[in-house]
Structure 1
Amino acid sequence: MTYAEQPAWRQIQEFLPESFRLTEATVPAEEWWDHHLGHRIHLDTYRNPDAPVKVILFHGVGTNGRQMSTILGRPLAERGYETIAVDMPTYGVTEVAPGTLVTYDDWVQIGSDLVDAELAKDDRPIVLYGLSAGGMETYHVAAVNKKVAGIVGMTFLDQRSRRVRVETSFDPISGLVGASLMKLLSATPLRTLRLPMRLVSKMRALVNDRGATRVFYTDPTSAGNKATTTFLSSYLNYQPAVEPRDFDACPVLLTQPAADRWTPLHLSEPFLAQITGVPVTTIMLDNGGHYPIEQPALDQMVEAIDAFVAKSARP
């Protein structure tokens, strides 16, 4: 399947301001990238050989690449950047290798490999952007791949933090025991058990519009997805290659939606406060939910990321 055949993203984008909706004339090109782990990775691309910087967009555990293209990929492309939105395995329309148990470690590896694949084509700087869990993924990728020129997150959630787990899980109890339970189950025949993400996370706070939430839930390629206990264990127990106090790879930008009911600012601050080796900037997005569909948050996000990415292009 391609997004040309998938109706869910069109229904979801109806909740966005008209200026952020894709039309037949503005939809991204769809590419396929054969990864060495066996997955056929789907990429939404706005290729531009004259662009000074490439921006790779990571989704979270309740979204997919096309939803990144709508709120940021196309707007940045219109400002002269090349953008690439990736569907990580089990999300979007990426084709998962048969018989594979996908882990969060795979996501980080794929992100790093995509950076290398793009740099093999040319030497333009690459900035990573991530929404929700994708925000921390940008850090995890930059921690293993020092070729990244900058990272932008809509949140930076260190799942090793009890407070992060408690406040972002479905409820406090699952937040307290979830990581240990998933680790236990992943070592048993139940490692392939698939759980609805809406029942293990605070997915109800993905967007601040009930109608949009209902549509997201019907989309099995984003918020309606199910994840294995193996994936959940690897995500909740992931250890970064570099601790934040030692991170010196590239500048960091947090674009924090001010009305985020899932991952408010105080959950990212403790992690970012430990990063002292590179500049760290926080920009608040007024009125924006976790996946922002509101103004002025969307325009503020594009402006802030445009300014951040532009600095990466300077010699």
Structure 2
Amino acid sequence: MSTITPATTLYRDQQAWRDLQQFLPARLRLSDDTAPEEEFWDWRGHRVHLDRYPNPAANAKIVLHHGVGTNGRQMSLILGAPLARRDFETVALDNLGYGLTQVKPGITPSYDDWIDLVVDFLAFEQSRDDRPIVLYGLSAGGMLTYHVAAKAPRKTLAGIVGMTFLDQRSQQVRDETSHDKLTARAGVPFMGLAARTPAAKMKYPMSLAGKMSALANDPGAMKVFMKDRTSAANWVSIRFLDRYMNYVPAIEPEDFDACPVLLTQPAEDHWSPHHLSLPVLSRITKVPVTTVMLDNAGHYPLEEPGLQQMQDAIADFATEHTT
């Protein structure tokens, strides 16, 4: 049974996020007094790290998910804390292999495990109380919100928000988001073959798999990111990459009717620009789909007014669909 247990390895002892937040507006910088509470959730032998701003009086919860170059604390910086100040309960999780989550020894997680983990986490949250939940995902986490909503039981989510919605089964998406075209055209099929052998456990740097150099538009922030093995400097298994690139959703966009969708698209995103989300979002017609462009903001948004626009849009979306 999944339970909350006391935290051990904590972000309060990590320097990377403290260095990163110096590139954020002063209003978003956290201190030890304003940082989220930290806990671990036990799931299938893994210890999943959670950043939480508890608020029993809040009408709704917003669950935050990172991408393949970020972690939960980086979600707390740009969304968890500011949305908590708007009277939402927020919780940012570190999925398997990222952040401070502790993977069960001997296990090689796949992208499918990421989906199952979030589906089960939402069920766990709903077992604690019946408040509606909105799920947000940054970067690759955006399509993860769709995959989770498609697989979870009906009425699990009141809405999903993505910073992008990338279907990696598309060759165009692979070409434009991979590290280079050779990786997109030859590397992906090779990993598909390797994933069916003992080599599936081998790890590969995400900075060579994806266009990690475009994660942030500030060169100083990129230096911080690329030293952080819990986020952008992380290595993932060939098994994970293969399943991530080929995951088939439980429901295709034409039939998706689980909940409303919001895209908060950074206008200066040089990794996953707006046009790459359109093949998914244009096919969703059974529920409302809204797009908000974030002016001046990069892939991991550090810039105003995009940050404020993102926070406003998500708060408004969550209020509209949870009250």
Task: Provide the TM-score with structure 2 as the length reference.
Answer: 0.96
Output the CA distance in 2 between the equivalents of 1:157 and 1:178.
18
The number of residue pairs the alignment matches comes to 313
Output the CA distance in 2 between the equivalents of 1:79 and 1:171.
41
Which AA in structure 1 matches 2:304?
A: Q
Q: Is 1:102 aligned with 2:109?
A: yes
- Which residue does 2:208 correspond to in 1? 199
Which AA in structure 1 matches 2:298?
A: G
- SS in structure 2 opposite 1:284? strand
**Runs of 5+ consecutive residues of structure 2 not aligned to the other structure:** 1-8
Q: Does the 8 Å CA contact 2:53/2:89 hold for their aligned counterparts?
A: yes
Q: Is 1:62 aligned with 2:80?
A: no
- Which residue does 2:10 correspond to in 1? 2
- Which residue does 2:165 correspond to in 1? 156
- Which residue does 2:187 correspond to in 1? 178
Runs of 4+ in structure 1 deviating by more than 3 angstroms, as ranges, are none
Residues 247-258 of structure 1 mapped to structure 2, 5 A cutoff: 247-258=256-267
Q: Does the 8 Å CA contact 1:247/1:278 hold for their aligned counterparts?
A: yes
Q: Does the 8 Å CA contact 2:72/2:93 hold for their aligned counterparts?
A: yes
Q: How far apart are 1:138 and its partner, in Å?
A: 0.4
Output the CA distance in 1 between the equivalents of 2:74 and 2:109.
21
Pairing partner for 2:253 from 234, 244, 258: 244
Q: How far apart are 1:177 and its partner, in Å?
A: 2.5
Q: How far apart are 1:38 and its partner, in Å?
A: 1.1
Q: Is 1:32 aligned with 2:40?
A: yes
Q: Is 1:226 aligned with 2:235?
A: yes
- Which residue does 1:124 correspond to in 2? 131
Q: Is 1:309 aligned with 2:309?
A: no
**Runs of 5+ consecutive residues of structure 1 not aligned to the other structure:** none
Which AA in structure 2 matches 1:133?
A: A
Q: Does the 8 Å CA contact 2:159/2:259 hold for their aligned counterparts?
A: yes
- Which residue does 1:274 correspond to in 2? 283
- SS in structure 2 opposite 1:232? helix
Output the CA distance in 2 between the equivalents of 1:45 and 1:39.
18
Which AA in structure 1 matches 2:10?
A: T
Q: Is 1:297 aligned with 2:306?
A: yes
Q: Does the 8 Å CA contact 1:53/1:312 hold for their aligned counterparts?
A: no
- Which residue does 2:6 correspond to in 1? none
- SS in structure 2 opposite 1:94? coil
**Which piece of structure 1 moves more, 246-255 or 15-24?**
15-24
Q: Is 1:143 aligned with 2:115?
A: no
Task: Provide the TM-score with structure 1 as the length reference.
Answer: 0.98
Output the CA distance in 2 between the equivalents of 1:89 and 1:243.
25
Partner deviation per Cα, 1:236-267 (whole Å, 9 max, x = no partner): 01000000000000000000000000000000
Q: Is 1:16 aligned with 2:36?
A: no
Q: Does the 8 Å CA contact 2:295/2:304 hold for their aligned counterparts?
A: yes
Which AA in structure 1 matches 2:127?
A: A
Partner deviation per Cα, 1:244-294 (whole Å, 9 max, x = no partner): 000000000000000000000000011100000000000000000000000
- SS in structure 2 opposite 1:27? coil
- Which residue does 2:196 correspond to in 1? 187
Q: How far apart are 1:83 and its partner, in Å?
A: 0.3
Which AA in structure 1 matches 2:256?
A: F
Partner deviation per Cα, 1:17-55 (whole Å, 9 max, x = no partner): 1111111221000011000x2110000000101101100
Which AA in structure 1 matches 2:72?
A: G
Output the CA distance in 1 between the equivalents of 2:322 and 2:289.
18
